[in-house]
Amino acid sequence: MKITWLGQAGLLLEKGDFKIMIDPYFSDSVAKVNPKNYRRVPMQEGFWAVKPDVLIFTHNHLDHYDPATAEKLLSGGNMLVLAPGSVWGEVRKLGGDHNYVLFNRHTSWTEKGIRFTAVKAEHSDPTPIGVIIDDGERKYYITGDTLYNEEIFADIPKDIYALFLPVNGAGNNMNKVDAARFAQRIGAKKVVPIHFGMFDELTARDFPCENKVIPEVYKEILL
């Protein structure tokens, strides 16, 4: 699986010609609500040309479900859209010939041999989720925005290959210390810190996790 970091919490996963996009944020919508949270990372226009087969939103915050981004991505083609309740009711209004699936916690969906499972997240959205993606060879766990919460671990299998988690410590996300504890509990072979550097000057160099892989925006994450 080839995985590219799109900035903030956005990821593009590709297996052959099958493409999965999670929480893309390609606009500057957040700055319109809070001017201090302007994009520090310019958009690479080439990503607009990517038409994912599966589009996943983890919760209804602008840097995860951005209507401006979603509308443009959904402007053509036929996509599978997986979204929890807080997003599902909104994204369906964009219409088009897409399969909008209500993807709340404990829901699974299999597409082209890849299984997607929604798991618990603890955040300020009413129905946040994390996502486990099982391509038949490896399992990838994207936590979505979340705090460290004991109930999460019951949802997670023991054989996660790569874990992607927030480390910014603001907006009801884990800080680096708690994210490292979380990663230790999950026991993934690779741990990728995300959700930093878009609206702040944070880096992940001091993330205290031995098996971390620090991503670079718009580049493949080498796991």
**Any idea what the CATH number is for the domain that residue 98 is in?**
3.60.15.10
Give the chain's domain count.
1
AA identity, residue 206: D
Using alpha carbons, list the distances in angstroms from residue 74 to 46, 77, 86, 118. 16, 7, 18, 22
State the residue for tokens 């997003």. Answer: 87
User: What is the mean predicted confidence (pLDDT) over 137-164?
Assistant: 98
Closest residue by Cα to residue 120 from 109, 112, 128: 128
User: What is the mean predicted confidence (pLDDT) over 207-216?
Assistant: 97
In this model, does residue 53 exceed pLDDT 90? yes
- What integer pLDDT is reported at residue 77 of this predicted model? 83
Residue ranges of the alpha helices (H) in 55-188?
A: 67-73, 85-91, 176-186
Domain interval for residue 95 = 2-194
Q: Is residue 74 part of a domain?
A: yes
Q: Is residue 75 part of a domain?
A: yes
User: What is the mean predicted confidence (pLDDT) over 111-123?
Assistant: 98
Q: What is the pTM assigned to this prediction?
A: 0.97
User: What is the mean predicted confidence (pLDDT) over 141-163?
Assistant: 98
In this model, does residue 76 exceed pLDDT 90? no
Computed on alpha carbons and rounded to an integer, the radius of gyration of the chain in Å comes to 16
Residues of the chain above pLDDT 70, percent: 100
Mean pLDDT of the chain, nearest integer: 97
What is the band of 123 on the pLDDT scale with cuts at 50, 70, 90? very high
Cα gap 120→137, rounded to integer Å: 23
Going edge to edge, which strands form the sheet with 99-102? 2-7, 10-15, 18-22, 54-56, 80-83, 99-102
What is the band of 68 on the pLDDT scale with cuts at 50, 70, 90? very high
Pairing of strands 80-83, 54-56: parallel
In this model, does residue 217 exceed pLDDT 90? yes
Which of the 8 DSSP states describes residue 207?
Answer: -
Q: Is residue 8 part of a domain?
A: yes
Q: Is residue 215 part of a domain?
A: no
Q: Is residue 200 part of a domain?
A: no
Residues of the chain above pLDDT 90, percent: 99
- What integer pLDDT is reported at residue 102 of this predicted model? 98
Cα gap 121→152, rounded to integer Å: 7
Q: Is residue 203 part of a domain?
A: no
Structure token digits, residue 19: 């493409």
Q: Is residue 204 part of a domain?
A: no
- What integer pLDDT is reported at residue 89 of this predicted model? 96
Closest residue by Cα to residue 123 from 41, 59, 210: 59
Q: Is residue 210 part of a domain?
A: no
